[in-house]
Amino acid sequence: MPQHVYARLTGFGLAVIPQAPFRIQYAPGDGDAIDVQHQSPQGQRFARLIPDQGGYKSKIDQYTDSLYEVLDVEKGPDTDQWRIETTIFTVAWPRGYVLCSNNFPQDPGPFDLVGP
């Protein structure tokens, strides 16, 4: 059974809903692109999402059959930064921090931010 996701990323006209468990970070040297890792029962899956004028481009690795194994993309707010959204708050996602799913509600918050 899939793990419930309590946080998503929004920005650049997109809403990104990762498959849990996940780790998301800014793609090294690629502007506002994000790298998303999903630990599926079949092993780690990977996708890079690159915002592109309200739409997006994506790349997957050789172990990933489809972008949707890793994340879903919907229309989102047209902001010029990525934001972390939950059902009760939104916050700017700081560069250098990795957004990770956790075991909420057993854990104290809906996601973890792992920093430098």
Span 54-67, pLDDT tens digits: 899 999 999 999 99
Fill in the amino acid letter for 43.
Answer: G
Instruction: Find the radius of gyration of the CA atoms of the chain.
Output: 13
Joined together, the tokens standing for residue 24 give 């998301």
Joined together, the tokens standing for residue 53 give 């004028």
Q: How confident is the model at residue 107 (pLDDT cuts 50, 70, 90)?
A: confident
pLDDT (mean) for 1-11:
78
Q: How confident is the model at residue 104 (pLDDT cuts 50, 70, 90)?
A: low
110 close to 18: Cβ distance less than 8 angstroms: no
48 close to 108: Cβ distance less than 8 angstroms: no
Strand 90-92 to strand 34-40: parallel, antiparallel, or no bridges (unpaired)? unpaired
pLDDT (mean) for 12-20:
96
Q: How confident is the model at residue 1 (pLDDT cuts 50, 70, 90)?
A: very low
Per-residue pLDDT of 64-90, as tens digits, reads 999 999 999 999 999 999 999 998 899
- Strand, coil or helix: 68: helix
pLDDT (mean) for 96-102:
93
Taking the C-alpha atoms of residue 93 and residue 32, their distance in angstroms, rounded to an integer, is 11
User: To which residue do tokens 């999402």 refer?
Assistant: 49
Taking the C-alpha atoms of residue 98 and residue 96, their distance in angstroms, rounded to an integer, is 7
- Please check the confidence at residue 33 and state whether its pLDDT lies above 80: yes
In percent, the amount of the chain with pLDDT more than 90 equals: 79
